[in-house]
Structure 1
């Protein structure tokens, strides 16, 4: 199978939550092309998704041995990290960062993973130091010991970004807001694909913030954008299908497309924007209330007259509308008739108000 076709099929199987079948497919290709680094990398990526970290580390190491690029370092480092081998993971990330160079390494979040690895190394060192101190002194601070035990540096738990992000949606877009202040637009990197969005930005501490999401439904990368303001980063993703998203990240369910613009399908609830707000609003009810308020509003003078004419025109028959249009246009706006029989045959004359004279502009 051609590499491009294989890659497409692997992505399809992963989207259907059939990553194990993707592994089998790539394994067959490896048997016929054992020297292809891309195949070993592809299988490592699938195994990482299946949380088979030992096998993923093996395949990523093989890919690197065959000359794979820095992407394999990232997979190798992640597999080692989740196996609790933080020193080896840090080394893999550092080598990948050096391969990628300053621009690409930022996009691939090497700095963030190096920071996380260093954090785990320090936590383990602190714990070992306390254990050594306890053995030497024959006692320990019971409160400190319990705190450490209640917060173990679990190797298989993904570290959460410290920066908060939120999201909401409109009928056409999904917007993510990331609460990082005082960023420069040129320092923020955002990458879109049909099913993913990646955001990286430098933090005041010198480390890198990164956010990687597998989004719930497809987006249009070309029509998606982002902007940086003093208080936040705003990422605006263009929906491919005009549907309401039940969640920001993918859940494996197929999208439900609207049957007509503005009308929800049977399986789709009416959206309440913004989706992340704690207080929900019935926007259809609000729209109806505004219309009722406009209709009941008491206007005066020309505004009341215009409202009356609009109501007559809007509720009138086709003949009424034709009469109003013909009389108004032919009379230069001085006559407005609703009787089609009176104005149908002859031209409507200009009838200026008393004391005024009608003149044509040259």
Structure 2
């Protein structure tokens, strides 16, 4: 069955039906997920569709299953060049060239990578095509019956106004990871597809019934470890955790030639827990936390109960053990009407209930 699907996929590819080829290869992979050739061939079909991130993912899987398959390295290198990941592309192509001696495709692509890398480093001056003159002026005195005069025409500049993204995103970082938040409220988890490359993040939100899918595919500032990255679809947002390959400070989320200098983060030996929101966990800054909750409630439009629950979760998550014990004890003993963070105050006594104004406590008899 899998071999029949593979044959049909190759025929579709030859006929330039690349989407059908990807679909057929995917069906064959579902039946035989350990066949490296299927991933390598689907990578080529994805390249034809300009699905370069998916092509890199397929090529990596093919290499993982069979490190001796040279065409997987070729396809990874080709896709990485399209993604402007020239260092990664060069490494893959050199590995593939050692398996396919004499194959000029590897030689030519490696040369292209080297030129691009040199250009990025400012070693080779780059000449933009838009600097080349596109008009020819022929003096009227030189026109003959065999000479065609070309009139210079000033073409109007076409400006494309950037469209506002459907969902807003932001990020923050720690020494070991970068956390990206996409503020997409009420999105079903099955409509979210996220993939991780060596320096690529691919986010797709495709909700049935909506015309255009949301895509966010940045080339990241630094390299990540795809196997350690993860994400979670929440009610108001999608939280993506990118594991850094190196403990460096990212100057931005996305790579740009202007912000390529990264500062290494010095991490002390031993375990160091992030200090948030206060450097003195035993003294909770209630005003600050309340203001933070109100801001998050405004930004993420949390309901009252959801905001309150998140407020208490944040306190509990970042508190020390004594504070947590105080919170658990006071909450349980007061039937949910008191929440104390001071263990010295509640540790040696039973916490009495304290109902809101206008209400009274009642003890239920069973």
Q: Do they fold alike, i.e. is TM over 0.5?
A: no
TM-score scaled by length of structure 1: 0.34
Greater Rg by CA: 1
